[in-house]
Structure 1
Amino acid sequence: MTYEHPPASQKASYQSNFAVIHFSRTYDEAFTLLVEARNYLSAHRSQRGKKQNSGEAIARCVEEMRMTTRLIRAMAWLLAVRAVEEGEIQWEEAVDVDNLMVDLRVCLEERNETYEFLSPGLVDLMHRAQALYMRTARMELQVAARCAN
């Protein structure tokens, strides 16, 4: 089963004092990673019900939710960028300076502990979700700074 989404526009029909950088590849990466995470979590749902150390179960759940939150926030930002590129909204509407991604502490937090009980697949997804989140948070911060001027 494939998951299609409309391609990013090739034009930007809005007034702005800075150039739009097309985020098509980042959007595609976010979309793919979101589907991958959903598939992983669905496939491993049955493992959560098995008898396991409650501390490990809680840590796994926290890390899964952190990964999911990162992906959702990154995707939301990239969808706002696409709306700007399509001329549906202005940059000022796309950026909420009171709710920037760099202010979301739970998503910025890096865990230095090694969770040996987490599967390598989940750890890989977690790292890629964090990298994507940090990249989109920097993009959002740059746009917010330009909109404030």
Structure 2
Amino acid sequence: MTPIETSQDGQIKSPAQRVADFAGSDVFRKLFRDGMDLVEETAAYLDGPGREDAKRLGRAGALSYAAESMALTTRLMQSASWLLAQRAVAEGDMTPAEAADEKYRLSEVRGSDAAWPAGDDPCPVRLADLVERGVTLYQRLRRLDQSLFAESESFEGQTPNPVQSHISRLENAFGARI
């Protein structure tokens, strides 16, 4: 279930408001940095030690390695694109409405056939780690994407947090953030 985000006056926030708030947050800045670090780490591995790991594999392992590395690269590039779009919102280079365009959204990852084990060749440990971390990042971004861009109508019938409503009323009455 998507959490209900409300403004200080208790109104449900629009997707544009949620995107703008998130893109300007410290949480986003850390997520952006972590995501881009993973992209760089993966590129360095695939262009360096990963080539050596692939050379040590037999034919089936080499094919599995190629498939895994392509899927990993694709997933990370989609993640990086999404993160860059959110950063563009934070920096005022893109509106939240533009970031909501389907070309910037993350789609559900369809399940893929496991490439490993490939004959007698085990998946290189470093590649397996990067794949796992890449999947985790993508899934996290996908959940954020769904939450941020959910239409307000999806909240019909749901009640905002009553405590937040009281806090909002107190803030409005006293003009201070509690």
TM-score range, shorter chain: 0.7 to 0.9
Q: Percent identity?
A: 27
User: CA–CA distance in 2 between the matches of 1:112 and 1:57?
Assistant: 10
The CA distance in 2 between the partners of 1:36 and 1:20, in whole Å, is 29
Q: TM-score, normalised by structure 1?
A: 0.73
**What is aligned with 2:44?**
39
What is the distance in 1 between the residues matched to 2:34 and 2:136? 11
Match runs of 1:83-102 below 5 Å? 83-97=88-102, 100-102=105-107
Indicate whether 1:80 and 2:85 are aligned. Answer: yes
Cα deviation for residue 118 of structure 1 reads 1.4
Distance in 2 (CA, whole Å) between partners of 1:127 and 1:73 is 16
Q: What residue number does 2:66 align with?
A: 61
Q: 123, 127, 132: which one pairs with 1:127?
A: 132
The CA distance in 2 between the partners of 1:113 and 1:55, in whole Å, is 9
Residue number in structure 2 paired with 1:17: 17
Kept in 2, the 8 Å contact 1:102–1:137? The answer is yes
How much does 1:98 deviate?
A: 6.5
Are the equivalent residues in 1 in contact too, given 2:36–2:80 (CA < 8 A)? Answer: yes
Alignment correspondent of 1:142:
147
1:102–1:141 CA contact under 8 A, matched in 2: no
- Deviations 1:120-141, CA, capped at 9 Å, x for gaps: 1111111001100111111112
Partner Cα separation in structure 2 for residue 137 and residue 49 of structure 1: 34
Deviation at 1:47, TM superposition (A): 4.5
Q: CA deviation at 1:55?
A: 2.1
Larger radius of gyration: 2
Q: Secondary structure of the equivalent of 2:93? A: coil
Higher relative contact order (CA 8 A, sep 6+): 2
How far did 1:96 drift? 2.6
Which structure 2 segments of 5+ residues have no match? 1-15, 155-178
* Deviation of 1:112 (Å): 8.8
What displacement does 1:17 show? 3.4
Check 1:24–1:76 CA distance in 2 against 1; reply closer, same or farther (3 A cut). same
CA distance in structure 1 between the partners assigned to 2:103 and 2:152 by the alignment: 13
Question: In structure 1, how many angstroms separate the alpha carbons of the residues matched to 2:116 and 2:47?
Answer: 25
Query: Residue type of the partner of 2:135?
Result: Q
- Contact 1:91–1:147 (Cα < 8 Å) also in 2: no
Alignment: residue pair count: 132
